[in-house]
Structure 1
Amino acid sequence: MTTETLEPAGASKGTITVVHLYPREMSIYGDRGNTHALAGRIRRHGYTAEVVLHDPGSTFRSDGHLFMGGGGQDSGQARVEADLEAVGPALKAMAADGVPMLVICGMYQLFGNSFHTVTGQVLPGLGILDVTTKGNDKRMIGPVCLETEYGKVVGYENHSGSTVLGSGQEAFGSVLSGHGNNGEDRTEGARTNHVIGSYLHGPLLPANPMVSDALIAVAAERATGRPFEPEDLDDPLADEARTRQVRRLLSRERV
């Protein structure tokens, strides 16, 4: 377990602990960038960011305020399976209690009910999100634009797993351009309480700071016992990048 602390420029409003699950095994498409983006944004909002990297077999920080997980190959999922089973009950309890979490691609699949690989292996999931994933020979690759409760969200998908939502499971967003969960039902990701699962890399958060702020708001209140005290942050580069991608993708859909 590795820990890093980032202090704000002025007096700290409190410490928010961000736990990144399996950064070596499950972060192959830049998803660790989500943790960097979160830590930087926590600091810009005037809070101290404590970043904990959780590896298989290391001590689990059940006092974390915000949890992250990234994508990985089937082999990476298999390498974290035993540790995830060990910490799974704690993660399920925290998710039910409202702890914010963002899990991408492979970790999104493992937060579901099960993942059925193309070789026939069944990897049991935590059941935090009511989704089931099956591997197939078709890869779903390319830029994505979603409509979400946070506004339009952009990212990049690269997955062969086809995910189906259970009855009543809310999606993270509806697909305006791209494949999404399975390329058929126009859903992307899943959301339960403050847990978000998604296939969007990019990484997701640098281009979509409003999603970061939604997660940080919940984490800050849990960490300090007070409502989130945000700073008025300006994000012109992120806003321009997102706006341009939205315009480009929606224009392509209209052709």
Structure 2
Amino acid sequence: MKLRLCHLYPELLNLYGDRGNILVLCRRAEWRGIAVEVTPVSLGDKLDPQGYDLIFLGGGPDQEQGVASADLLAKGPWLKEAVEAGVALLAICGGYQLLGEYYRTGSGETLPGAGLFAAYTEAGTRRLKGNIAIQVEELEVDRPVIGFENHGGRTFLQGARPLGRVIYGDGNNGSDGTEGARYKNAVGTYLHGPLLSKNPHLADYLLRLALQRRHGEVELPPLDDSLEFAVNEAVYRRFLPTKGKW
């Protein structure tokens, strides 16, 4: 069994260790005997919508987002074709914003998005930053998803369903209790960290989504995630302002 992973704009969009998500996915696959092929795709490169099982897009500051925006707009039809065909996708922060309808920066510039998520983003007057925990209902393991958010944009969903509901933190916009967006097997989120190192249950969920298109339903052999879940619980409880679900 083989996992084909596309890393979009690795040299432009890699804030807060987002590349660590690639490392986590590769290790968790390889520990189970699944070979992984990682292909970097950048400015001007063609994106083969049939060539990958999972596409990753990290975060970046406004300048780098501006550079990537026009190219991502050109790749938009390929991305949509891939997702419609069942390819999994994970986009973090700036990458998440660029997959919506548009991102309006603090200077008033409007960066058109790829339109994968029915959502839009506008710059706010203060940054939303700090530790965050959300509840994601689709996960098999009943634990929170935790991370660190640091974004000036406010994302508002216009038909897209959220990745999860905020337990504490700001999420998409600090007001409606949503975090991230979902469309088919595509996931967008503001959670850095890197996200997947503290959330093995989310990492395995994405791996299963990525593998099932070519291989059908895949049962991933369990791994010893006691250390990862100990970190997940410790961080969750450390920043929990009131008694929560877990």
**TM tier, smaller:** over 0.9
1:210 Cα shift? Answer: 1.1
Q: Establish whether residue 231 from structure 1 lines up as the match of residue 221 from structure 2.
A: yes
Please give the root-mean-square deviation of Cα atoms over the aligned residues, in Å.
1.5
The Cα offsets for residues 52-94 of structure 1, whole Å up to 9 and x where unpaired, read as 1112123434311101111101111111123212211010111
3-state SS of 2:182 partner: strand
User: In 2, Cα distance between the equivalents of 1:247 and 1:236?
Assistant: 16
- Gapped regions of structure 1 (runs ≥ 5): 1-13
User: In 2, Cα distance between the equivalents of 1:195 and 1:162?
Assistant: 20
8 Å CA contact 2:103, 2:112 repeated in 1: yes
8 Å CA contact 2:101, 2:114 repeated in 1: yes
Q: Establish whether residue 196 from structure 1 lines up as the match of residue 187 from structure 2.
A: yes
- Gapped regions of structure 2 (runs ≥ 5): none
Q: Which amino acid aligns with 2:106?
A: V
1:99 Cα shift? Answer: 1.1
Q: What is the aligned partner in structure 2 of residue 218 from structure 1?
A: 209
Q: Identify which of 24, 30, 34 aligns with 2:11.
A: 24
Consecutive aligned runs of 4 or more in structure 1 exceeding 2 Å deviation: 58-62
Q: What is the aligned partner in structure 1 of residue 26 from structure 2?
A: 39
Mapping for residues 1-255 of structure 1, pairs under 5 Å: 14-62=1-49, 63-149=51-137, 150=139, 151-166=143-158, 168-223=159-214, 225-250=215-240, 252-254=241-243
User: In 2, Cα distance between the equivalents of 1:19 and 1:45?
Assistant: 20
Total equivalences in the alignment: 239
User: In 1, Cα distance between the equivalents of 2:69 and 2:180?
Assistant: 21
3-state SS of 1:132 partner: strand
Length-normalised TM-score, structure 2 = 0.93
User: In 2, Cα distance between the equivalents of 1:123 and 1:82?
Assistant: 8
8 Å CA contact 1:105, 1:199 repeated in 2: yes
Q: Which amino acid aligns with 1:33?
A: G
User: In 2, Cα distance between the equivalents of 1:81 and 1:52?
Assistant: 20
Length-normalised TM-score, structure 1 = 0.90
8 Å CA contact 2:8, 2:41 repeated in 1: yes
1:46 Cα shift? Answer: 1.5
8 Å CA contact 1:45, 1:229 repeated in 2: no
Moved more, 60-69 or 110-119: 60-69
3-state SS of 1:253 partner: coil
Q: Which amino acid aligns with 1:239?
A: F
